[in-house]
Structure 1
């Protein structure tokens, strides 16, 4: 059971991939994360540091000042790209349907994922969808069973 499609290297909100498992259609779509926090507010160690006890410590060794300057420039570029809305945080949300009936529009999800992140390729979005697939399938199977039980009109149920 797997998605054979992959999310592209550039993602827009609403992009999706689909697969079929045991008769269920599962759609993984991208939704913008509504948390407004900036990257440096979400991630300890976002900004590099020369202090060994600080998050973002670049580590000891030769050329530490150069490595710090490079890391600082990279962090500034990432922040600038975020401010320009060139990348964003998203959720991968899986829905599940059977015979064209949506059983659960939010069967499984993972949030706070960096999308269109500088120096990245969005491969993690497909990996996240893959990891969520068993949860979405279990949710769909449970929903289908509930629907079948609700529709059961046999004499034993009456």
Structure 2
């Protein structure tokens, strides 16, 4: 079970892909993460370190100064791109509908994902959407069952 569509290599908030199964239409959408924390505040070890007990330790061995300099330059470039708004954190939110009726607007989600991160193609966003599909489909089935039971209850004498 996976989306045939893929999120684009450059994605924007609100972009969607769709999947159909068992009469349900599942839509995955990109939603901007409302947490304002910068990348170096969200990720232990974001900044490289030469200290072995630090989260960003680059490891011992030959060429450690060169590896440290490269890792430092990469971290600085990632921070600068984030500050310029070239990439952002997002959530992938799946909704479920059937016969034009939205059954669950937030059937499944995962947050804190990097969208348009430097050097990536956003393929991970589709992978996440694929992984959330079973949960969303279960939520859709449950919502449809509740709705059917409610409607049946209305029709009862």
Using the size of structure 2 for normalisation, the TM-score is 0.97
Provide the C-alpha distance between the structure 1 equivalents of 2:153 and 2:43, rounded to a whole number of angstroms.
Answer: 54
Provide the C-alpha distance between the structure 2 equivalents of 1:144 and 1:153, rounded to a whole number of angstroms.
Answer: 14
Structure 2: 5+ residue stretches without partners? none
Which residue is equivalent to 2:114? 114
1:104 aligns with 2:104: yes
Listed as ranges, the matches of 1:7-22 within 5 Å are 7-22=7-22
4+ runs deviating over 2 angstroms: none
> What CA RMSD, in Å, does the superposition of the two structures yield over aligned residues?
1.2
**Matched residues, number:** 157
Q: 3-state DSSP class of the match of 2:121?
A: coil
Listed as ranges, the matches of 1:1-158 within 5 Å are 1-153=1-153, 158=157
| 1:84-119 C-alpha deviation (Å, 9 max, x unpaired) | 000000000000000010001110000000010011
Provide the C-alpha distance between the structure 2 equivalents of 1:148 and 1:16, rounded to a whole number of angstroms.
Answer: 28
Structure 1: 5+ residue stretches without partners? none
Q: 3-state DSSP class of the match of 1:49?
A: coil
| 1:36-88 C-alpha deviation (Å, 9 max, x unpaired) | 00000000000000000001100011100000000000000000000000000
Provide the C-alpha distance between the structure 2 equivalents of 1:66 and 1:3, rounded to a whole number of angstroms.
Answer: 42
| 1:138-157 C-alpha deviation (Å, 9 max, x unpaired) | 000000000000111498x5
Provide the C-alpha distance between the structure 2 equivalents of 1:153 and 1:48, rounded to a whole number of angstroms.
Answer: 62
Using the size of structure 1 for normalisation, the TM-score is 0.96
Provide the C-alpha distance between the structure 2 equivalents of 1:154 and 1:47, rounded to a whole number of angstroms.
Answer: 60
